[in-house]
Amino acid sequence: MNLQTRKLQAIGFLINCQDEKLFSKIEATIKDSQQTESTLQPFSQKQLAERARHANEDFLTGKFKTQEQLEIESETW
């Protein structure tokens, strides 16, 4: 199912929703999502360089997991 179809189904659900509490929860979730998106800002060049430096240090000191380790770990999620 594509995104457009899912949006139309959500609109249909909202149109037919008679539960005030449920609608309020949906409305609050949408508002929270919009506020979160508006507070996100891109990294500066300095921040990106610091993150890259930190990642390189972690790699050189062995502070990382291999793809295989992550796959094994994710099986227990």
According to the model, what pLDDT value does residue 44 have? Answer: 95
**Domain definitions of the chain by residue range:** 3-39, 46-74
pLDDT tens for each residue of 5-59:
999 999 999 999 999 999 999 999 999 888 766 677 899 999 999 999 999 999 9
According to the model, what pLDDT value does residue 35 have? Answer: 76
Whether 67 has a pLDDT exceeding 80, the answer reads yes
C-beta separation of 73 from 65 below 8 A: yes
According to the model, what pLDDT value does residue 37 have? Answer: 62
Question: What are the angstrom distances between the C-alpha of 42 and each of 28, 32, 39, 45?
Answer: 26, 20, 10, 9
According to the model, what pLDDT value does residue 34 have? Answer: 81
